[in-house]
Amino acid sequence: MTAITTDLQAQKVAIEKFLETKALEGFPSNLYDAVHHIMTLDGKRLRPMMVLTCAGAYGIPEDKAMSAAISIEVFHNFTLVHDDIMDKAKIRRGKITVHEKYGIDKAIVTGDAMLPHSVDLLIHGNEEKAGTLLNCFNQMAKEVMEGQQYDMEFEDRKDVKVDEYLNMIKLKTSVLFGSACEIGAVLGGASEADRKNLYDFGLYSGLAFQIMDDYLDTFGDENFGKRIGGDILLNKKSFLLVSAMQNANAEQKVRIETLFNEKDEEKKIASFQALYREMDIPKIALDTMEEFHDKSVNAVKATSLTDDAKERIIQLGEVMLKRTK
Amino acid sequence: MTAITTDLQAQKVAIEKFLETKALEGFPSNLYDAVHHIMTLDGKRLRPMMVLTCAGAYGIPEDKAMSAAISIEVFHNFTLVHDDIMDKAKIRRGKITVHEKYGIDKAIVTGDAMLPHSVDLLIHGNEEKAGTLLNCFNQMAKEVMEGQQYDMEFEDRKDVKVDEYLNMIKLKTSVLFGSACEIGAVLGGASEADRKNLYDFGLYSGLAFQIMDDYLDTFGDENFGKRIGGDILLNKKSFLLVSAMQNANAEQKVRIETLFNEKDEEKKIASFQALYREMDIPKIALDTMEEFHDKSVNAVKATSLTDDAKERIIQLGEVMLKRTK
């Protein structure tokens, strides 16, 4: 185990402890059970780690950045509660989803209360920086909703281009990572240039993360515990599928259309995997992922931070891509 | 027409103009149609008027308080979009509801984007007061969700007490009026004591307003355009019904239970009206309303404002209760 993962393990413990103690203070009591349910599901806590790590790079101790870090995690979980309603998902991280357990109406209201609560946590103790923090946070929050809407619109479209897909995941997923890093930088009193570079680190890390996630869903190692082929069975417009649909020749287009209706699950997964390999999609995905990862590293290198601080942030990016054990 | 209603008419025109021009700048483009639909439905715009009137009492010109005023209106409409989903409402202010027109998923996401947008509007131009404004706003937002949850829980209960009902409408409806007034006061640089008193003015006005609304739904004048008996037909737990259920003797309890299942709409409305009159519920409602109205007036009187400014705010409260034409 390297130094960074030991540090992150300790960070995760501190994050979980805060979640179980102060994080939900002041939350409406009649919605507490629902918010506690979602916030205590096992998660990687990558987003609050980004806040803590970026703030820490400027010498801000963990406890001074924790409330803002948890704010980002509460916001993230608010989007999960509402997304799960829209996706009609029954299971999240191995547990029952909020709307399945408490009903759709309560899940909507719980999410609605989580958003102002996350704003509360963001400015708690940081009132003098509230304007700057809020500008960053609100812009991000609206972009996440824009991305969610594109994601839903894409479900009914057969002509989604790779560029459109990348824009969608940028909005739906990556700006939250970018914002987490920028908020850490703001807490640290970073320069405008550093803020922008750390935002870019988060943004590109998020893009690389999502493409890696898409790749592993189809070509991952089942020994890591995640079932392979989930996206394929749902005909989900992942990076792999969108790339394949854009690059397919006439014969391949027909095969894809036919496979959408394949009922034999094992056959469907194996056939899509074979088609993707034939079209070189795994390499395209990994190359695109590497490209974003390189941009994320370059963004950190462009900051005014010390080499040690830069290295720590870059390593967090590596952890996100599961390349550091 | 008195001076106050002429002023408010001009305020309404300015509010509507801002809504059609700057209010939705920066809103996600793929959700614009849905947010424009709800924000441009005909409304009384009482909440932004409260912000403008209270800020104006401290000499803040309308254009300096407009963004914060619209913030409150956007927040209010966000709650309407989500409430209409939960209520399965098809019509709002004579027009189709957002979820009926654009689908439930888009309505959820549109509401989710309206909340950070309302925060954006609140702090726009008021960055130096962002911390104070946000503390007030977030507390209110969470209380509104708490109230909404109680409202939903009450639907399935037969033992809701008047005090519980009053607490519910305080949270669901009145704190937003209170917060609107307090935000106006904060913009005006009011003292803590004035802020508290103007919050109380809004809060008690909101309570009086909701009870008046309940009263008029059953005992209003159909010439004013609103159909009488809507709450009765829905067995809605209004102030009238909750008061009747709490005060009913054994025989009256049986009559109420029987009337819940009455299929003849005219008979159901007339029978409930007769029962309420027999139990003196109209007087109880109007007395309670007056009590809250008196408290709202006393709160304004306790401020440090000039008599003219006090009078203007008190008159806005009268307009809310439809006593000033």
Tell me the pLDDT tens digit for each residue of B67-94: 999 999 999 999 999 999 999 999 998 8
Residue A325 lies in a domain: no
What single-letter amino acid sits at B157?
R
Of the candidates B175, B151, B173, which has an alpha carbon nearest to the alpha carbon of residue B164?
B151
Q: Which long-range contacts (CB under 8 A, 24 or more apart) does A268-272 make?
A: A268/A229, A268/A232, A268/A233, A269/A218, A269/A228, A269/A229, A269/A232, A269/A233, A272/A218, A272/A229, A272/A232
Instruction: Give the DSSP letter string of A169-235.
Output: HIIIIIHHHHHHHHHHHHHTT--HHHHHHHHHHHHHHHHHHHHHHHHHHHHS-GGGSPPTTHHHHTT
Residue B325 lies in a domain: no
Tell me the pLDDT tens digit for each residue of B1-33: 457 778 889 999 999 999 999 999 999 999 999
CA distance A11 to A14: 5
Q: Which residue of A has its CA nearest to B86?
A: A105
Residue A281 has pLDDT above 80, yes or no: yes
Question: How crowded is residue A249: how many other Cβ atoms within 10 Å of its Cβ?
Answer: 9
pLDDT of residue A6: 83
Which residue among B106, B119, B149 places its CB closest to the CB of A119? B119
Q: How close is the nearest chain A Cα to the Cα of B87, in Å?
A: 9
Residues of A in contact with B110 (CB under 8 A): 145
CA distance B283 to A192: 63
Residue of B121, B145, B175 best to disrupt the A interface, most CBs of A under 10 A: B145
Q: What is the CATH number of the domain that holds B136?
A: 1.10.600.10
Beta-sheet pairing, B91-92 with A95-96: unpaired
Contact state of B113 with A138 under an 8 Å Cβ cutoff: no
Tokens 């005023």 belong to residue: B69
Residues of B in contact with A32 (CB under 8 A): none
- Residue B74 C-alpha from the chain's centroid: 13
Answer for the pair A151, A183: CB distance below 8 angstroms, yes or no.
no
CA distance B172 to B170: 6
CA distance A287 to A278: 16
Q: Which residues contact B174 (CB under 8 A, 6 or more apart)?
A: B202, B203, B204, B205, B206, B207, B209, B210
Which residue among A131, A139, A149 places its CB closest to the CB of B109? A149
Answer for the pair B191, B58: CB distance below 8 angstroms, yes or no.
no
Which residue among A26, A131, A145 places its CB closest to the CB of B130? A131
Tell me the pLDDT tens digit for each residue of A41-56: 989 999 999 999 999 9
Which residue among A109, A132, A141 places its CB closest to the CB of B145? A109
Which residue among A105, A117, A138 places its CB closest to the CB of B142? A117
What single-letter amino acid sits at B96?
I
CA distance A297 to A202: 10
CA distance A125 to B222: 53
Tell me the pLDDT tens digit for each residue of A154-163: 998 989 999 9
Answer for the pair B202, B185: CB distance below 8 angstroms, yes or no.
no
Q: How close is the nearest chain B Cα to the Cα of A273, in Å?
A: 32
Q: Is B225 left (phi over 0), alpha (psi -120 to 50) or beta?
A: left
Confidence of residue A319 (pLDDT cuts 50, 70, 90): very high
Q: Which domain holds residue A222?
A: 3-320
CA distance B10 to B1: 13
Beta-sheet pairing, B91-92 with B95-96: antiparallel
Q: How many structural domains is chain A composed of?
A: 1
Region A275-299 average pLDDT: 98
Helix, strand, or coil (residue B22): coil
Q: Which residue of B has its CA nearest to A132?
A: B127
- H-run or E-run covering A123: helix A104-123
Answer for the pair B82, B119: CB distance below 8 angstroms, yes or no.
no
Q: Which residue of B has its CA nearest to A136?
A: B120
Confidence of residue A305 (pLDDT cuts 50, 70, 90): very high
Contact state of A123 with B134 under an 8 Å Cβ cutoff: yes
CA distance A148 to A80: 11
Q: Which residues contact B99 (CB under 8 A, 6 or more apart)?
A: B81, B84, B85, B106, B107
Contact state of A28 with B146 under an 8 Å Cβ cutoff: yes
Answer for the pair B81, B185: CB distance below 8 angstroms, yes or no.
no
Mean pLDDT score across all residues of chain A: 95
What single-letter amino acid sits at B77?
N
Q: List residues in chain A touching B: CB distance below 8 A.
A: 26-31, 79, 82, 85-86, 105-106, 108-113, 115-117, 119-120, 123, 127-128, 130-132, 134-135, 137-139, 141-143, 145-146, 148-150, 152-153
What single-letter amino acid sits at A1?
M
Q: Burial code of A5-14, b = ≥16 C-beta within 10 A, e = fewer? A: eebbeebbeb
Angle, alpha carbons B215-B216-B218 (nearest 5°):
75
Residues of B in contact with A27 (CB under 8 A): 142
Q: Which residues contact B303 (CB under 8 A, 6 or more apart)?
A: B190, B193, B194, B197, B198, B310
Residue of A27, A30, A82 best to disrupt the B interface, most CBs of B under 10 A: A30
Q: List, for chain B, all residue ranges whose pLDDT scores fall below the cut of 50.
A: 1, 325
- H-run or E-run covering B95: strand B95-96
Structure token digits, residue B233: 């037909």
CA distance A208 to A214: 10
- Residue B66 C-alpha from the chain's centroid: 19
CA distance B205 to B202: 5
Of the candidates B46, B107, B48, B101, which has an alpha carbon nearest to the alpha carbon of residue B80?
B107
Residue A204 has pLDDT above 70, yes or no: yes
CA distance A134 to A244: 39
pLDDT of residue A325: 41
pLDDT of residue B325: 41
Tokens 């079209």 belong to residue: A279
Q: Which residue of B has its CA nearest to A125?
A: B131
Residues of A in contact with B72 (CB under 8 A): none
pLDDT of residue A260: 96
Tokens 């006393």 belong to residue: B298
Burial class (CB in 10 A: 0-12, 13-18, 19+), A197: buried
Which residue among B30, B123, B139 places its CB closest to the CB of A150? B30
Name the pTM for this structure: 0.95
pLDDT of residue B301: 98
Answer for the pair A156, A29: CB distance below 8 angstroms, yes or no.
no
Contact state of A131 with B127 under an 8 Å Cβ cutoff: yes
Q: List residues in chain B touching A: CB distance below 8 A.
A: 26-31, 79, 82, 85-86, 105-106, 108-113, 115-117, 119-120, 123, 127-128, 130-132, 134-135, 137-139, 141-143, 145-146, 148-150, 152-153
Q: Which residues contact A230 (CB under 8 A, 6 or more apart)?
A: A217, A236
CA distance B275 to B50: 37
The dihedral through the CA atoms of A102, A106, A107, A113 has a sign that is: negative
CA distance A18 to B187: 34
Structure token digits, residue A303: 């900051």
Instruction: Give the DSSP letter string of A287-313.
Output: HHHHHHHHHHHHHHHTSSS-HHHHHHH
Q: Which DSSP symbol is given to A188?
A: T
Tokens 């395209």 belong to residue: A284
Helix, strand, or coil (residue B92): strand
Residue A216 has pLDDT above 60, yes or no: yes
Instruction: Please state, in angstroms and as integers, the Cα–Cα distance from residue B126 to each residue in A187, B67, B229, B315, following that order.
Output: 20, 9, 44, 27
Answer for the pair B297, B314: CB distance below 8 angstroms, yes or no.
yes
Residue A273 lies in a domain: yes
Counting one residue from A and one from B, how many pairs have CB atoms under 8 Å apart?
Answer: 137
pLDDT of residue A49: 97
Helix, strand, or coil (residue A189): coil
Residues of A in contact with B85 (CB under 8 A): 108
Residue B283 lies in a domain: yes
Answer for the pair B186, B202: CB distance below 8 angstroms, yes or no.
no
Residue A302 has pLDDT above 60, yes or no: yes
